[in-house]
Amino acid sequence: MQVLTVTDLGVDFPHAAQVAKVVRHRTDTRSGKQSRETVYVITDLTSRQTSPKASQRS
């Protein structure tokens, strides 16, 4: 997980305080095909209100 600043990304969410970029790599065990998925997690919580570990819970 990579935590990014909202201003650097130009995120158009008025109350966004933090953005985390999660890149998942996987390999299909049957075909061997590899894929990558990028997910952005956006929250209005500041770093004082939460932590990276708490942000991983879903």
> Cα–Cα distance between 1 and 21 in angstroms, integer?
6
Cβ 40 vs Cβ 33: under 8 Å: no
pLDDT tens digit string along 14-35?
788 888 888 999 999 999 999 9
pTM of the model: 0.57
C-alpha dist (Å) from residue 41 to 6, 19, 26, 31, 33: 11, 6, 19, 30, 26
Average pLDDT over residues 8-13: 70
